[in-house]
Structure 1
Amino acid sequence: MNTFDDVFGVAPEVQASAPGRVNVLGEHTDYQGGFVLPTAIPQTTTVSLGRNGTAQHRVYAADLNEEASFAPGANADAPFARYVAGALALGGATEGLNVHVTSNVPMGAGLSSSAALEVATLRGLRTMGLLTANDVQIALTAQRVEHEFVGVKSGIMDQMASSLADTTTLLYLDTRSLERQLRPLPAGTELLVIDSGVPRRLAESGYNERRAQVEEASRLLGVRELRDVQDPAQLDRLEPLLLRRARHVVSENLRVQEAVQPGLSASAFGQLMNASHASLRDDYEVSHPEVDRLVELLQAQPEVYGARLTGAGFGGAVVALAQSGRAQEVGDRVTALYGGAAQRVVP
C-alpha cells in the first residue's frame, strides 16, 4: 500500500484518526431531534496532511488506490473525495494540501466510514492550526459536509459518535440539545458486529425519502419534530404510510429512553434491540432480506440477548448483545451459517 511519502514525495506535516461507530439503539431518530445510543468501534480512519505549495488539493485514498485533485473550496468530482473536499472547504483550508487516507472501517456497512473520514480530516486541520473547533463543533461541521458536499441529509449521530464516543461505553445522546452521557453496557455483556456483505449507498437509497416522509408527518401533526410526540396514539390521524414511518421514530425514542434506565437487565435490553429491528423492517422498511436472515440467526443463538440492523439500513451491518466472552465464538458460528460475504467486525 502506498504511503504519503510514496505518493507525494515528502513526509506529512500531521496525522489524525477517528473511529467508526456502531449504533446499538436509536435508528433514524437523529434527524427528528431524538435519542441515540452509539459506541465507537476499534476500526479507525487515518488522514495524513501536508501543504503542497500549489492552488490544488490532492487526495489519495490508499485502500482504493484512487487519487483526486480539486481547487480549495471546490467539491471533488470523484465521490470518494467529496467527504475530504467538504471537510477541507468548511475547515478553512485555503491553500493546496496533500491528503493521504487509509482506513480499516468497513465501507458501505453502516458503520460510519464517512463520518470517520470527515472527523479525521477536520482533526488534522485543527492540528495544523487551520481550524479552531472543539469536538462538538467538529461533529457539526462534519454533518454540514454530508449535507452540502455529499448530498445526504444526515442527522448528527454519526459525526458525534466518531468525534466523542469511545469503545468502552455507550454514548447516550440527545440529538436536539446535544446533551450526552456515557452509559455502560448491561452487566455481563459485550457487543458483536457483523457486516452482512450487502453494501448500502445512502445517497442512492431511500434515506432522503424516509427523512422527507417523517418531516411531512411532523408538519401534519403540528409538531417541530417527532421527538415531541410521546404517545403513539397521536399518530392515528396520519395516512397509513406516514403513520408507519412516524410510529418507528416515536417508538424508537421510547426504546432508547428505556434502555438507559438504571439496572435494566441484559435480557430486557436485548428485547428492545429485537423490537427495534422489527420496527425498522416493518414500519420504516429499511431492512433487507439478507440482513433479516442474519439477524434471525443471531437472535436464535442462546448466548445472544438481542440483535438488530445498525446504521441507515438497506444492507450493511448488524449488532448483537452477547454474553461476555462469547461474542467472537458466536460471530464465527453465525457467519459460517450465513455464508456469503459476511464478516465479523467486532470483536
Structure 2
Amino acid sequence: MSFQDIFGHEPTITRSAPGRVNLLGEHTDYNGGFVLPTAIPQETTVSLSVSEDGLDHIYSADLNERQDLPRNGQPEGFAKYVQGSVRVLEQKASIPPLNIHVSSNVPMGAGLSSSAALEVAVIRAVNDLLKLGLDGVEIALLAQKAEHRFAGVMCGIMDQMASSVASTREMLLLDTLTLERKLIPLPEGYEVLVMDSGAKRRLAESGYNTRRAECEKACELLGIASLRDAELSDVDRLPEPLNKRARHVITENARVQEALTATAERFGELMNQSHASMRDDYEASHEQVDALVSLLQQHQDVLGARITGAGWGGCCVALVKAGTARQVSEEVLKAFNETGGTGRLVVPQ
C-alpha cells in the first residue's frame, strides 16, 4: 500500500538509496583496508511526513508490516534499522515524530546491503526534510552507527559509503581508513552479473561479529592497530584460526590494489582467488553459493566470479563479456536449479 493509503495524506518528502555489490575487498573495511564496490539499480525508497500524535509510525510496503512506537521504544525487525537511523540523527538536531513509509526492490538477506540502503534512505529523507545539510560521507557514518547501535551488527563502512556515494556506472575505490575515494571504470568490454543463490542469512545471527572479534584478537597478538598494517609473514605468528582470518584480509587488500591496474582477464582471476579465500581462510561462504560460483567460473563468457557481501549465503557476482549477462544467467541457473538450487538473476534487471 502507498503512503496515502497508510497515512491518509501525501508524503512531505521522498528519498531513495541503492543497494551495492562488492567486486573485491570483502571483510577488509572494518580492518582499515580497501574495497571496490559498485551501486546496483535496485533501490530502497523512504517517504516521510511529520506525525501528529507523538509516535513514530513505520510501515514497510514489502512486508505489509506497521509498527507504532515512541521514539525511545523497542522496534523489531526492519523497524530497528528505520528508527535507529532516526535516533542517531538526534545528536544533530531535534527530530519530530514521523510517519515513515518504506518500499524496496533491493533483495533482503542476499548480501546486497539492503540494510545500508534502508539506513541511508531514511537519513537522506530526514536530512532533506529538516534541511540539516549533511553530506554523503556524514550520512554514511551515521548509517553505520545506526547499524552498530540498533541492529547489533558491527559492520565496517563500505556498505553505507557505497549506498551513499557510489555510482551504478563505475566502481568505488574506497580507503576505509581515511575515507579517501575515487570512481574508476569497469574493465572495458565487460559487465557485472549478480545472482542470488537463494541461501538467506542474517548477519546478526551469522559469524560476522565473531570474524570481526577474531581480527581484533589477531591485531592484539601482533601489536598493530589494524590488519591493514600486517604483512603476510605475520600470519605464521598467529594461532588457528586467527592466522587464516588475517591471511584473507592481507591478501584481499593486495587483490584490490592489483585490480586497479589489472587487465580484464587478471581482474577475473583476482575475483576467483577472492572467493577461494572467503571460502577457505575466512570460512564465510555457503555450499549453495560455492556451487553457483563454480558453475559461473566454468562458463566461457565469465572471467571471474565470487561470493559478494559478508557471506554465509546470499549473492555472487561475476564479470562477464558485455551483452552476455542474461544468457549466462539463464544457462547457469538452469544447471544450478536442476540440482535443487533456488537461484535467480538480480543484475541486470
Q: Is the 8 A contact 2:75 2:83 kept in 1?
A: no
Instruction: Write the deviation string for residues 249-284 of structure 1: whole angstroms up to 9, x where unpaired.
Output: 0000000000012xx211100000000000000000
After TM superposition, give the deviation of residue 142 of structure 1 in Å: 0.1
Q: What is the deviation of 1:51?
A: 0.5
SS in 1 for 2:303: strand
Task: Give the residue type in structure 1 aligned to 2:268.
Answer: G
1:104 is matched with 105
Q: Post-superposition shift, 1:75?
A: 4.8
Asked if 1:197 corresponds to 2:195, the answer is no
Question: Which residue of structure 2 lines up, in the alignment, with residue 258 of structure 1?
Answer: 258
Count of residues in correspondence between the two structures = 342
> 2:248 matched to which residue of 1?
248
Partner of 2:30: 31
Gaps of 5+ in 1: none
The 8 Å contact of residues 44 and 103 in structure 1, kept in 2 or not, is answered as yes
> Contact conserved, 1:68 with 1:76, CA < 8 A, in 2?
no
Residue 285 of structure 1, aligned match among 261, 283, 286: 283
Amino acid at match of 1:69: D
Tell me what 1:115 maps to: 116
Matches within 5 A, 1:204-243: 204-229=205-230, 231-243=231-243
Please name the residue that 1:66 is paired with: 65
Cross-structure match for 1:346: 347
TM-score (norm. length: structure 1): 0.97
Letter in 2 for 1:252: E
Unaligned runs of 5+ in 2: none
Distance 1:224 1:133 in 2: 29
How does 1:292-307 map onto structure 2 within 5 Å? 292-307=290-305
Deviation at 1:143, TM superposition (A): 0.1
Does residue 315 (structure 1) correspond to residue 316 (structure 2)? The answer is no
Q: Distance in 2 between matches of 1:226 and 1:94?
A: 38
What percent identity do the matched residue pairs reach?
56
Deviations along 1:225-258, whole A, 9 cap, x unmatched?
A: 00012x3012211012100011000000000000
Matched, 1:136 2:133: no
Give 1:244's aligned amino acid. Answer: K
Once residues 96 and 179 of structure 1 are traced to their aligned partners in structure 2, the CA distance between those partners, rounded to angstroms, is 35
Q: Aligned AA for 2:307?
A: L
Letter in 1 for 2:9: V
Structure 1 segment 4-23 matched on structure 2, within 5 A: 4-23=3-22
**For residues 160-199 of structure 1, what are the structure 2 equivalents within 5 Å?**
160-199=161-200
Structure 2 contact 268–304 (Cα < 8 Å) conserved: yes
Instruction: Answer with 128-137 or 251-260: which moved more.
Output: 128-137
Does structure 2 conserve the Cα–Cα contact (< 8 Å) formed by 1:259 and 1:269? yes
Tell me, yes or no, if the aligned pair for 1:198 and 1:316 is still in contact at 8 Å: yes
- C-alpha separation between the residues in 1 aligned to 2:330 and 2:69? 43
2:205 partner SS: coil
For the pair 1:45 / 2:56, whether they are aligned, the reply is no
Offset at residue 180 of structure 1 (A): 0.3
Amino acid in the other structure paired with 2:283: E
Deviates more, 1:121-130 or 1:246-255: 121-130
C-alpha displacement of 1:130: 5.4
- Please report how far the alpha carbon of residue 77 of structure 1 lies from its aligned counterpart in structure 2 after TM superposition: 2.8
* 1:95 Cα deviation after fit: 2.0
Q: Which amino acid in the other structure matches residue 286 of structure 1?
A: A
* Structure 2 counterpart of 1:190, one-letter code: E
Deviations 1:261-313 (A, max 9, x none): 2xx21110000000000000000000011100000000000000000000000
Q: Deviations over 1:183-222 (max 9, x none)?
A: 1111111000001110011000000000000000011111
Q: Deviations over 1:160-182 (max 9, x none)?
A: 00000010000000000000011
The one-letter code sitting in structure 1 at the alignment partner of 2:178 is: S
> Would you say the 8 A contact 1:76–1:85 is kept in 2?
no
TM-score, with length taken from structure 2: 0.96
Partner AA of 1:110 in structure 2: G
For 1:337, the equivalent position in structure 2 comes to 335
